[in-house]
């Protein structure tokens, strides 16, 4: 194992398993050289480098990103999210309120077994969400998640698709109070030894019932 990539990891699969045990949030994923160790839910109060990409070099940091990424919504499906689209909160395991956020991408490095989220060469994912009047969380955001790991599959057309990242609504916030509010989201994928890729969207928060099927 490369010492710069040693880490503890989690995925949406781990979240689902933990929900069955009565836990409301996934475990965090940390990478010692990127940020300080994080707490439950992978919320991170430190400021990781904006262009970090795992075990990269100075040359990699100055190179153009390779490939592409897209952000979506859903549990068992990928619903693309464009500017102005609704971004639903759903009722998750044990009553947790969350945004289920899967990703798609392509043309950047994936491990030989992309479903193994413990692989040291797998990509890291960072997520930030801002909602005016509610940006009281780590880093001055409504929600901030750092160094998260997901399991991926390669579709028949060669596109990559991830499991969903459960973005938990912070404690003490009633999801119904967020209905209709504009939000800005940023997703960063940091493939192994490659420059980071980013996608941003301006969306509208909506509230649903239980997560569909």
Residue ranges per structural domain of the chain = 3-210
pLDDT digits (tens, 9 = 90+) for 14-63: 444 444 433 333 333 433 333 333 333 445 533 333 433 344 444 455 67
Cα(82)–Cα(1) distance, integer angstroms: 38
Q: Across 114-177, where does the E strand assignment appear? A: 124-130, 143-148, 152-154, 160-162, 165-168
Task: With CA atoms as reference, report the closest residue to 29 among 148, 126, 112, 109.
Answer: 148
Given a contact cutoff of 8 angstroms between Cβ atoms, the answer to whether 13 and 153 are in contact is no
Cα(148)–Cα(31) distance, integer angstroms: 10
What is the reported pTM? 0.71
- What integer pLDDT is reported at residue 93 of this predicted model? 61
Q: How many CB atoms lie within 10 A of CB 56?
A: 20
3-210, CATH topology level? Immunoglobulin-like (2.60.40)
pLDDT digits (tens, 9 = 90+) for 79-111: 999 999 999 999 866 678 999 999 999 999 999
For residue 173, what pLDDT band results from cuts at 50, 70 and 90? very high
- What integer pLDDT is reported at residue 186 of this predicted model? 98
């Amino acid at each position: 194992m490369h010492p710069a990539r040693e880490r503890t990891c989690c995925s949406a699969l781990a979240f689902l398993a933990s929900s069955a045990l009565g836990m409301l949030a996934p475990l965090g994923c940390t990478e010692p050289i990127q940020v300080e160790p994080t707490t439950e839910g992978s919320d991170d109060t430190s400021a990781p480098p904006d262009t970090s990409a795992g075990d990269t070099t100075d040359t990699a940091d100055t190179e153009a990103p390779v490939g592409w990424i897209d952000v979506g919504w859903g549990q068992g499906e990928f619903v693309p999210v464009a500017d102005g689209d609704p971004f639903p909160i759903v009722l998750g395991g044990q009553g947790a309120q969350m945004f289920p956020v899967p990703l798609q991408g392509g043309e950047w490095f994936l491990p030989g077994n992309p479903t193994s989220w413990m692989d040291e060469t797998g990509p890291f994912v960072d997520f930030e969400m801002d909602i005016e009047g509610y940006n009281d969380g780590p880093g001055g955001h409504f929600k901030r998640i750092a160094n998260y790991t997901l399991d991926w599959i390669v579709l028949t057309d060669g596109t990559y698709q991830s499991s969903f990242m459960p973005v938990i609504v912070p404690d003490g916030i009633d999801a119904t109070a967020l209905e209709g509010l504009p939000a800005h989201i940023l997703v960063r994928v940091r493939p192994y030894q490659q420059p980071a890729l980013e996608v941003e969207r301006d969306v509208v928060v909506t509230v649903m019932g239980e997560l569909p099927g």
